[in-house]
Structures are given as C-alpha cells and as structure tokens.
C-alpha cells in the first residue's frame, strides 16, 4: 500500500537554469540539494555523478530536479514530442491569468504552446513547456468545476 507521495522528479539538462526557472519564474522555494555518485547504479548509469535540487511550491508540492554531471549527450532543446507519448510527464498549476503566467514562463526560458489553449466550459487551459520540455498545464477555473479540489 502506498503510504505517501513525497515528490516527483524531473531530469533536467542544466540544474541551475531549471532551479532559476521554477524558483524565480514560478514561485517555488529552493530546498536541499547535493552531489553524489551513489544513485548511479539505481539509474542504471554506474559511475555517474548526480546533482539534485529539491524545490517546493507554497501549496506543498515538492519536485526533485536532477541532472548527470559531464554528460555530453544531453540536448539543450525543448523536446518536440507531443504530450500523448508514454512517459511524457506534466505538472498542472491553477492560475488567475493564463497569459500572465505564460509570459512569465517565457521570460524564464520556457515556451508557450498557444495551439493547446482550450475552453472546456468549466475553465480555460493551456500548456507551456519548461526549458527542458516538461509540459506545464495552466488552468484558470471559470465556473463550477470541482475536479481540482479547493479552487
């Protein structure tokens, strides 16, 4: 039985850039971080040196950003795969103003995906992507939707 859900983790190409994006751009708080070679075998990458940084959103959500040091194969481009590919994660944020948050995402190195903007009757939704291509769903609840808990 699952006893908790302490965090979700995302591999990033540049740990400092990703931390800046989430902390300065989206209001997360930087927490503990480190550097170790211990997770190498866990990641099926023996000998790899892993750097991590945990970040926390004011509502309690924790994210582990992690990268591999000295990895030459990390691309520095947004992943063009559509959101319907297996293993493609996304985070969802409730917002008051889709455009203002999307502009902040762009200001800190992310991308707006304006073609995803939709009005589902209960609210407006749009996807963006962080600098590493992780999708960020923005939701502005407009009426009567209770699927996101306290809105």
Q: Residue 106 has what pLDDT? A: 97
pTM reported for the whole predicted model: 0.77
CATH code of residue 59: 3.10.180.10
pLDDT in tens, 82-112: 555 656 688 889 899 999 999 999 999 999 9
Does residue 120 sit in the same domain as residue 50?
Answer: no
Structural domain span for residue 41: 8-68
CA distance 138 to 65: 20
Contact call for residues 72 and 63 (beta carbons, < 8 A): no
Q: Residue 102 has what pLDDT? A: 96
Domain end among 68, 85, 101: 68
- Which class for 139: exposed (0-12), middle (13-18), buried (19 or more C-beta within 10 A)? buried
Q: Mean per-residue pLDDT for 126-151? A: 79
Listed in sequence order, the residues at least 6 apart from 38 whose beta carbon sits closer than 8 Å to its beta carbon are 50
Q: For residue 64, what are its two tokens?
A: 């582990």
CA distance 128 to 149: 22
Mean pLDDT score of the chain, rounded to an integer? Answer: 81
Task: Locate the DSSP E strands across 1-151.
Answer: 8-11, 29-36, 50-56, 62-68, 90-94, 111-119, 123-129, 135-141
In a domain, 82, yes or no: yes
In a domain, 133, yes or no: yes
């Amino acid at each position: 039985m699952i006893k908790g859900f302490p965090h979700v983790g995302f591999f990033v190409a540049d740990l400092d850039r990703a931390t800046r994006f989430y902390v300065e751009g989206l209001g997360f708080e930087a927490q503990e971080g480190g550097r170790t070679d211990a997770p190498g075998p866990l990641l099926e990458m023996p000998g790899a040196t892993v750097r991590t940084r945990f970040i926390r959103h004011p509502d309690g959500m924790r994210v582990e950003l992690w990268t591999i040091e000295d990895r030459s194969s990390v691309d520095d481009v947004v992943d063009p795969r559509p959101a319907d590919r297996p293993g493609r994660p996304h985070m969802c944020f409730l917002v008051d103003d889709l455009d203002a948050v999307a502009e902040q995402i762009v200001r800190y190195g992310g991308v707006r995906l304006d073609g995803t903007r939709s009005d589902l009757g209960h609210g407006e939704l749009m996807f963006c992507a962080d600098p590493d291509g992780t999708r960020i769903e923005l939701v502005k609840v407009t009426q009567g939707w209770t699927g996101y808990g306290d809105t």
